[in-house]
Chain A
Amino acid sequence: MSSHHESSGAPAPTPRAHLTTDDVAKVARLALLELSDDELVTFTGQLDAVLDLADQLNEFDIGDVPPTAHPFGLVNVFRDDVAAVGHDAEVLREEALAAGPEIEAHQFKVPPALGEAP
């Protein structure tokens, strides 16, 4: 594996700072998840252990290799701009709406986006 280590000229990667509960609290907020204090501590330790695993990626010299987002390197796939609905569109709309937790006038209803419900 020696040939895959950082080439000799590159500086050794600086050790990663461990995750803190503040880091995880921020990530949870971004992901719209609420964590109890106990959960915050547990998740912080567990997520930090996974990032340790990710540190192994530093053992490989990636040089100027491009990133891969998709095994076939697809960029865009187009089709003709025509409606192609397998079922009756009206029925489909009603079925899709039926899955909504709260529906009003054929629309999904949510509490206020700004401020709070009265």
Chain B
Amino acid sequence: MNPCGRFEHEGLLLLERGLPLDEHFDTCPDCLQARQAYQRLQGELATAGARYRPPAGWQSRVRAAVAARKARRPGWRLRLMIPAGVAAALVLLVLLVPDREPIPVALHAEIELGSGDVRRGHEPHPGDVLRLRGTTGGAPHAELRVYLNDVELVLRCSTAAPCRRREESLQASVLLDSIGSYQPVLLVSDRPLPEPLATLDDDAAGAIAAGARIAMGRQIDVR
């Protein structure tokens, strides 16, 4: 004889709707068993995937994306001009000076093998060198930083070695001597940059709050 399927067909929906179950569900052995099974399933669902955690440094990446979009966006005066039509725009162009758009900043990262060869798209190993090249947009203050596992600052330089600054470019190299995730960051600002204090997330938040722009290089996982 087939087991009673009323709990699956009716009981589950009644419970999801917060409605009472009738007497049958208290007396039918199949339904009682099914109810217990679904209670266990619901308990397991509550803990499924509990091991998943957002990747380290994700907040900084969101803030950097926010900052990058802000930098790309035209000033409010310029945006007001767009729907005003050509004639009005010509007048407004004379009367209003659009906000200066910041020059984009960017950060490129390359891995140099211990042997001195350059490779891209391969998994780096301890002993390789990370070569960084940032475009500062001519900002008076610029700094390259590299965080290991988002908590340890392994490189920080601006005009002095190991950084080399030439006009709008800032370059540096850092030896990848440990296993872990290296996150390169370029910070630029019209004002002096705040001192790094703690983690990548905190430092990035502090720099953005102080008016800095941030470009994040790709994360380098050394194994």
Is B truly associated with A? no
